[in-house]
Structure 1
């Protein structure tokens, strides 16, 4: 069942809203001329109607039982914010992407960005001016943090309350379409981060309409979305229609689902499985693949297992274990959830199996955690050294660039971009942005603001951070989080960006990366040092990456296939502002080599 408004042209507009417990529902037109349009109820609790002399831009509420005005739950535009009227949108748009076939999942180089802090203007259209920079870097996919209408003008996006309405201060529906169209014109895919596990607290009026939520389960944000109780068919439809809305009307190439572990659903056919099924059908009908990438805290391959085998059938999922293994080696931090990591064995296993915890006991969780990734492909895992969560959920929002030295930053780049998995970069990472990415909101409710402040303080206790917490409500906190694009062309920042560009080029052009299945990767380590190497072979072509995470030089003899190896790069070389390479230009298996501290080297068979 399609929901929301459907502008038909010539002043004709259809309205559909689900409100099963109401006895009467009408469209309350606010402007340009105030009037009511009565709707008719069907057996499932959907109310339908059509009005004339309704042009794009018309403001309206739904009037419930003749007394209460509420904005449209499936509003396409909220020009005056989350508490005001909805707006009719004409979705006619001149698209230039008829020949667009998308970027295959296995070939994606994903770049996560936040619209409000990515550019000085903080709009969809302003991003277009930065696409040449991303293309030059080698990025072929942008992942946009949530853009559903949220309170005020500053927010990460996870407090959205109108899931069909692109944030008005970012440029609304038309601005988003212009951005997607521009991306497709230059050969770049667009993934949209969506939040289906909760809605923000301010401006959330779904309670007025129906049983969207349940007290049967509790999430970190309050009552859970009702995905398996009475009336859940129509609740599911709301979120499925939202997905199809983005894929259809906005030509979005894929969705990143936030925290699916907080979607509680005990039904025989879980919502997450049904959602993937509907996306698959849509892809088949339109002749182009769309992807679902899940974020899950469970290390559960059910997320990516095929639907035929009882899984959800999602295309890929974020792999936090890879990040945690890498982060602890580089920073030495072992508090909070990092306490489960910190050994080279962890990163070695993550290279082999993606998950570090595949059923072993987790000291942090005080229980066994995860299950086996055997028989899954590496394109089913997305890895990163930084993302919005791992930076922004630190007390001071520090990026790696302020936690480790330049050699460590280069090593982090090589570890992620030469891994067998799909790499994701967080905006500014490629040139070592030093501005923090802090948590920020612009709520209008003073009690809610105080609750957010207290909640942040509670989160940081496990990490032992005792500094003063930046005020999430502060405009300065938001402004501090904006990128400093001028750094990208200066000194070490320019060098780091050049290294990222080269690594992406190697990844795209090397035949060893053409098929990135995990079984093609061989991984070895030293028993007494934080040294790891991995190599892959495709027919007669071989590539090896050797990584030293120690803070001193290490001399050893890596055991490699019996071929002649020629150096492609050494991150400690002078061209990368290092102290100078100590490695030979050519290498044989069994040769003893000395690697500089916090460095990586790449060799190819000649």
Structure 2
């Protein structure tokens, strides 16, 4: 029998029916405080502890809209509920009872969208529009539909301290960040997306807490040991069952209450878990069960630094059962090929075989030496059994831009024509393509790291830490944006006038054409990696997709590429080209997607059966 986490006592939507419960197993006294932070006469109710460490009480007259907090032992400071569903006054203030059943949904006909065949769009609510709200983001849904994406992946929206930030400093995992609009604004966004045929994914962070408002450890042993960001979640030590349940209930609650179509799980390699059944496998199984109950597909996309194919291997085959994982190595190979950058981890992607090898096998490091890590890293993907849609491929992500000193995008280092070639390589690959907001028109707005912690000491500490980090890499301090300056956030807001101007408009039309081709050309959406090939030679790259060939010239000079079969017709091209039998002439920094004579094709994989 597999080891699983017992759910313990059922915890309903806190306070909705007058029942309040909180897990605090090692405290001697817990009281419920009803009333706002400034209420001069709050109502205090004693709570009773059960044998599992949960404290309970019933408050007559308390229901949706009631502000509440907990008093722990003899500390007079009221603390928000770790499972608070709404924080209208920030992460240090009392929570508010929220009834999830009160929202009126219009998506009853929505049957969901599975990840195979998807095009994902990563979106940060706070900088997608100048307003930085979910309501304002919903007003741009037409753009997403016309772009041809199928899934919108929201960066974290759970509550964090301050107004603006990336969202990875969240501390209350169940509550929607109030400056974004709160819980009903997220529901309205999802409802509107579903009405236009778009699925919605949410980035969730369970591997650490932000530095401000992190009261979770005050309640119980939620953390044990350390990871790269500080205390690590207690997933396998004493009292870890309720901690695991906290994570599972949070993940499933997002899917259930907000009608989300899946989750992106941040940095799962930092979830230290020595159980026989890892929490990711447990989450996968419970998500599958929920999908069956809801009658629509639900996806789990992991960010993992391990280069471990077991992340997406089914549970029954000994894996973790994730639907997909981010493939950073593909990004690194493309970035190096398009920009020529070879510093840091890009050094391992500068070899002549790096681009074709990574595109073909997913991981550059597959049990091979990583100079950046100074050790052997990763394991090979079984390309005969693992479909390409289990890996997300991309030119840009919030991490790969925002963790640069200035937050500079690839558009600053590669021409629009080269960016179009990169887009073609991603969107014509067998992987699940992902686009980072603004990339589709070669946005020139940067996307640097920013935050807005009200505590001046914390703000200064973040500012100094950022400068120290990049000064060690040779950057001048004056060239590093101040992450706490509101102007840094403002600089990251997309400029929505750019898509109507050249060269941005042409890049946008290229993206739209390529996403459309994935829908109309089955060979481009085919996820079988053993029927896919990539070849690269001195800036000339060819992808084989059935009878389709994507030929890219990443050099500035015109070139000739010899294909494996005669060209029959051009499907789509970004620049001047002509074909003579198997010879394809391409202008500098351009690509052509052509169909070749199928009778002359030698497929890279096994012959079809049946």
TM > 0.5: yes
Out of 29, 42, 46, the position equivalent to 1:24 is: 29
CA distance in 2, matches of 1:252, 1:344: 42
- Out of 84, 106, 109, the position equivalent to 1:99 is 109
| SS of equivalent to 1:506 | helix
Aligned twin of 2:568: 565
1:49 matched to which residue of 2?
57
Greater CA deviation, 444-453 or 261-270? 444-453
Q: Distance in 1 between matches of 2:418 and 2:189?
A: 34
Mapped contact 1:320–1:383 kept (Cα < 8 A): yes
Aligned residue in 2 for 1:345: 353
322-331 vs 62-71, which deviates more? 62-71
Aligned runs of 1:303-452 on 2, under 5 Å? Answer: 303-374=311-382, 375-452=385-462
- Residue matched to 1:588: 581
In 1, the alpha carbon distance for the partners of 2:201 and 2:521 equals 25
CA distance in 1, matches of 2:231, 2:206: 13
In 1, are the aligned partners of 2:154 and 2:200 still within 8 Å (CA)?
Answer: yes
Match of 1:601 in 2: 592
Give the 3-state SS of the residue equivalent to 2:116 in structure 1. helix
Q: Deviations over 1:339-363 (max 9, x none)?
A: 1112342121122111111111111
Which structure 1 residue ranges, 4+ long, deviate > 3 Å from structure 2?
1-8, 461-467
Unaligned runs of 5+ in 1: 573-580
SS in 1 for 2:170: coil
- Say whether 1:164 aligns with 2:174: yes
CA contact (8 A) 1:123 1:171 kept: yes
Deviation of 1:461 after TM superposition, in Å, equals: 5.3
Contact 1:334 1:341 in 2 (8 A): yes
Whole-angstrom distance in 2 between the partners of 1:67 and 1:477: 38
Cα-to-partner distance string for 1:521-562 (whole Å, 9 max, x where unaligned): 122333xx221211122xxxx21101122232223422x24x
SS at match of 1:96: coil
Partner of 1:576: none
SS of 1:207's equivalent?
helix
Q: CA deviation at 1:6?
A: 3.6
For residue 532 of structure 1, give the secondary structure of its aligned residue in structure 2.
Answer: strand
Deviation per CA, 1:4-49: give whole Å up to 9, x if none.
Answer: 74454xxx32222110011222211014762123322222111223
Q: Is the 8 A contact 2:264 2:301 kept in 1?
A: yes
The aligned counterpart of 2:608 is none
Summarize the Cα distance change of 1:517–1:462 in structure 2 as closer, same or farther, 3 Å threshold.
Answer: farther
The Cα shift of 1:430 comes to 0.8
TM-score (norm 2): 0.92
Distance in 1 separating the partners of 2:269 and 2:310: 11
Cα distance in structure 1, aligned partners of 2:557 and 2:469: 35
| Partner residue, 1:490 | 501
Residue from 518, 522, 531 that aligns with 1:520: 531
Partners in 1 of 2:420 and 2:329 — Cα distance?
20
Aligned mates of 1:343, 1:411 — CA distance in 2: 19
Q: Distance in 1 between matches of 2:293 and 2:535?
A: 45
Deviations 1:464-508 (A, max 9, x none): 433521111110001111010011111211111111000000011
Shift of 1:598: 2.1
Post-superposition Cα deviations, 1:283-339, rounded to whole Å, max 9, x if no partner, equal 122221111000011101121111122211101000000000000111111111111
Q: Secondary structure at the match of 2:505?
A: helix
Q: CA deviation at 1:409?
A: 1.3
Task: Tell me which residue corresponds to 2:543.
Answer: 534
Q: Is the 8 A contact 1:344 1:530 kept in 2?
A: no
SS of the aligned residue for 2:577 comes to coil
Cα distance, 1:458–1:338 mapped onto 2, change above 3 Å: farther
Distance across 2 between alignment mates of 1:583 and 1:488: 30
Query: 2:606: which partner in 1?
Result: none
Conserved 8 A contact 1:5-1:16: no
1:114 CA drift (Å): 0.6
TM-score (norm 1): 0.93
Alignment of 1:258-273 (within 5 A): 258-273=266-281
Asked if the contact 1:335–1:462 (Cα under 8 Å) also holds between the matched residues in 2, the reply is no
Residues 472 and 564 (structure 1 numbering): CA distance in 2 closer, same or farther, change over 3 Å?
Answer: closer
TM-superposed CA distance for 1:514, in Å, is 4.2
Tell me which residue corresponds to 2:481. 470
Once the two structures are TM-superposed, the CA of residue 66 in structure 1 deviates from its matched residue by: 4.6
Give 1:81-230 correspondences, 5 Å limit.
Answer: 81-91=90-100, 92-215=102-225, 218-230=226-238
Give the deviation of 1:451 after TM superposition. 2.6
Give the direction of change, closer, same or farther, for the CA distance of 1:89–1:259 in structure 2 (3 Å limit): same
CA RMSD of aligned residues (A): 1.7
Q: Whole-Å Cα distance in 2 between the matches of residues 458 and 231 of structure 1?
A: 38
Is the deviation greater in 298-307 or in 593-602? 593-602
- Paired residues, what number? 581
Q: Distance in 2 between matches of 1:418 and 1:521?
A: 11
- How many Å separate the matches in 2 of 1:237 and 1:399? 39
Q: Does 1:505 align with 2:516?
A: yes
Q: What is residue 251 of structure 2 aligned with on the other side?
A: 243
Q: CA deviation at 1:271?
A: 1.4
- Gaps spanning 5+ residues in structure 2: where? 1-6, 598-610
**Is the CA contact 1:566–1:603 (under 8 Å) kept in the aligned structure 2?**
yes
**What is aligned with 1:73?**
82
1:343 and 1:530 in contact (8 A); partners too: no
- Contact 2:13–2:99, Cα closer than 8 Å, also in 1: no
**Alignment partner of 2:241 out of 233, 237, 240:** 233
Q: CA, structure 1 residues 402+595, in 2 after alignment: closer, same or farther (shift >3 Å)?
A: same
Give the match for residue 601 of structure 2: none
Cα deviation code 1:109-164 (max 9, x no counterpart) = 11111101101211111111100111011112110000111111011000000000
